[in-house]
Chains A and B, each alone.
Chain A
Amino acid sequence: MTTTLRSAQGGLSGPSRVEKRRRLVSARDLPDMLFRGYAWSTGIIVVAIMIAVGVFLALRAGQALQVAGWSFFTEQVWEPDAGRFGIVAVLFGTLLIALIAGVVSVPLAVGTALFISEVASGRFQRTLISLVDLMAAVPSVVFGLWGVFFLTAEVIPVSRWLATWFGWFPLFRVDGFDPTDPLAGANLFTSSPLIAGLVVAFMVVPIQTSVMREAFSQAPAGEREGAYALGATRWGMITAVVLPFGKGGMIGGTMLGLGRALGETIAVYMIISPVFEVQWQPLHTNGNSVSALIANRYGEASPIGLSALMAAGLALFLITLVVNFTASTIVSRSRSGAESEV
């Protein structure tokens, strides 16, 4: 069989005339070359802008880092003109607020994403998806107003209740609060990291929800129906198929929200009353964040002060960069994220 085939081939093209592989490069005419040059130049401009931001930040931050040295990472106070400044307190405050935001927002986002992708259907589902998108577009200053003028008053009694009954638990402790003193004012509980964290939580829920919903809705129909055919209830199907499938999306969405929470400025700035010490009690008044620090101090800053703010901004940027890249890597490596976009 094979021999006949070979001879037939030999008869057709001859033994020595093996054609060279053709190069499939199309010749481009002048307009195409111009177009490609233009497109390439826009790419260059975009990269130039972005790199300019990064390099400029790094250079200006370098001056402050030279003055502060390693104490930049150990010092709590912020007095650049006296040469004493460090990022510990503000960075800790930022992380505390982002952590509170995450604890509140992740269950909300998972629940809402599951509700939209698994429970709701048809027109109702589409409306909910648009509502989540709309929520992502609400300006942060509006959330800040809500936090200052509404949420603060609602959270204070809850904080007081928690501090009264669960004050023995380190997380709910408030130094200087005496539950037996009926005249103890509310001022120990205002402007706390808890309130800021709650507001930031509602700001980051939409992005988390939409990433998670995207991942959940891609769970293959065959596996869903398989679970149903084996007698699973809807919740059984969700735990057996949808959640394992969407795990990458859940982690990625969470971290993406975390990245947003770390960089959020105006709502935190409106709510928090800044201090420069590590303040780890979520219910206690006072706190700080890197972005609030920048918003607070940029105006009266001397050259070295501005440089110190740059260093703080650069540190924040590097952290959000790591968080975002980790998130997008997790999403794109996961089964559900192979085709989706964060």
Chain B
Amino acid sequence: MTSTELEESTDVMSGTDEPRRTPRTYIPARDAEPVSFAERRQPGRMTLSDKLNLFGAALAAVSVTTLLFGRLAAMSGVLGALVVTGVVFVLLYALLVRMSDDRQAVRDRVMTVMLAATGLLLFLVLVFIVIFTVTRGADALPHLNFFTEDLSLTGPLDPLDVGGVLHAILGTLIQISIALVITIPLGLSAAVYLNEVGGRFARFVRTIVEAMTALPSIVAGLFIYAAVIQGFGLGKSGFAAALAITVMMLPIVIRAADVVLRLVPGNLREASQALGSSQWRTIWHVVLPTARSGLATAVILGTARGIGETSPVLLTAGISAAVNVNPFKGPMISLPLQTFEFVKSPEPAFIARGFGTAATLLTLVLILFAAARVVGGRAPGQLSGRRKRAIARASLADAGRFKAAERRHGGGAGPAS
């Protein structure tokens, strides 16, 4: 807008008594024909040609491999076929993209495919390991006696419908229970100490705990073997194994709980203290309930790690074939150790039992993990429906109490002392 135009427009605005000149500015009419928008573009999404490129390259790669391995060259082997398919696929895909896009786009597409392939490979291996264990254990698992009998009457050549791993299941449960009885109070209290009390010594404790996570589990087992079994003459037993698991689990639980407690917002603590509560009340009534689900997850994941450890148990638990529920006397085998013992044998029945035991152990870990997902996964302060209802009930009870007090004191007189 030039200055003369500006002056004219100000004239119009000021509304002099001269006859109205036609305005220079154009105001579009509101309800003229609607502006047609182009279709919304979503830059992150795959276009049709992207999909066709992928599909075409995959099809061509499979065809080339089939041709090479079946007809032209005398190549064989599943692994080789997979590698050749992969290489051919990447080359063809790059070529297809290059036909329509520039070099940068080719690099982007190829790398995206490579990233997806790495991820896929990893997850396939995981799924394969689980499926492999379960299918090889499928011979032993359908026999109910596998879960209800022990091995005391089972000879090396006995078929699968004799004997089971009840003693190992009980052993695992007893050992992990003892380890949890020590780990949960000690670990959570230590985490509270690190976070809520603090100070120079707390920082030292944190460094020590960090160092202990580096302790190889076999060395933890060796320590218990030399100190408790040989030193105190306890003998290989469930209690010694539980101690070894404890030494291994304690730093894991402390560190995980420490992280969770650190996420509790500081203003909750300050609000509680501003209302006059003491430190331990603040922790007991504010900090710990807020971090409840995270702490549960920390404990459950620590349990999942502890339950599957073989090496500390290998040195401390001892081998038994019969049910032993006394952790202080006699050897008490656990599931991972029993798996290990089974597959040392050349007998097919024992190897099948080994895989069955491993599948049982894996199921136990999966259950624990699912439980951790259900319990955890909430940020501190996000409450479950049950907790919310409990709080609402408590609040309602409080309101009733206030009402009653009010009636007793003759209405609105305030708390008389």
Contacts and interface: CB of A to CB of B under 8 A. Distances in A.
Contacts of A317: 214-216, 219
Interface in B187-241: 189-190, 192-194, 196-197, 201-202, 204-205, 208-220, 222-223, 225-227, 230
Contact of A46 (B219, B250, B351): B250
Contacts of B186: 42, 45-46
A1 to B, nearest CB: 38
B375 to A, nearest CB: 14
Contacts of A314: 219
B69 interface: no
A325 interface: yes
Interface stretch (B54-62, B104-112, B386-394, B403-411): B104-112
A57 B224 CA distance: 10
Contact of A53 (B107, B132, B247, B365): B247
A139 B208 contact: no
Given A43-B193, A49-B250, A262 B216 contact: yes
A167 B11 CA distance: 94
A154 B354 CA distance: 21
A316 interface: yes
Contacts of B336: 139-141, 266
B325 interface: no
Contact of B107 (A38, A108, A233, A309): A233
Interface stretch (B15-23, B155-163, B304-312): B304-312
A341 interface: yes
A170 B136 CA distance: 38
Interface class of chain A by DSSP: helix
A310 B115 contact: no
B278 interface: yes
Contacts of A157: 77, 79
B79 A154 contact: yes
Nearest to B187: A46
B361 interface: yes
A29 B208 CA distance: 30
Interface in A305-342: 306, 309-310, 313-314, 316-317, 320-321, 323-325, 328, 341
Query: What's the interface size class on B, roughly?
Result: 35 or more
A286 interface: no
Interface in B105-153: 105, 107-108, 111-112, 114-119, 121-123, 125-126, 129-130, 132-133, 136
B254 interface: yes
A143 B340 CA distance: 11
Most chain B beta carbons < 10 A, residue from A46, A235, A314? A46
Given A51-B208, A115-B116, A137-B301, A145 B358 contact: yes
A56 B226 contact: yes
Q: Which bucket holds chain A's interface residue count? A: 35 or more
Nearest to B336: A141
A39 B193 contact: yes
A39 B214 contact: no
Nearest to B357: A141
Contacts of A265: 216-218, 310-311, 314
A157 B220 CA distance: 38
Given A146-B129, A235-B111, A316 B216 contact: yes
B252 to A, nearest CB: 11
A191 to B, nearest CB: 14
Interface string A113-129: 01110111000000010
A107 interface: yes
B159 to A, nearest CB: 21
8 contacts: A39-B196, A115-B119, A133-B369, A141-B358, A263-B215, A270-B340, A320-B214, A321-B214
Interface of A: 28-29, 31-32, 34-36, 38-40, 42-43, 45-47, 49-53, 56-57, 60, 107-108, 110-112, 114-116, 118-120, 128, 130-131, 133-135, 137-146, 148-150, 154, 157-158, 202, 205, 209, 233-236, 238, 259, 262-263, 265-266, 269-270, 291, 294-295, 298, 306, 309-310, 313-314, 316-317, 320-321, 323-325, 328, 341
Kindly list the 9 A-B residue pairs having the minimum CB-CB distance in the complex, ordered from nearest: A139-B308, A111-B118, A263-B216, A35-B280, A233-B108, A115-B119, A265-B311, A39-B193, A42-B189
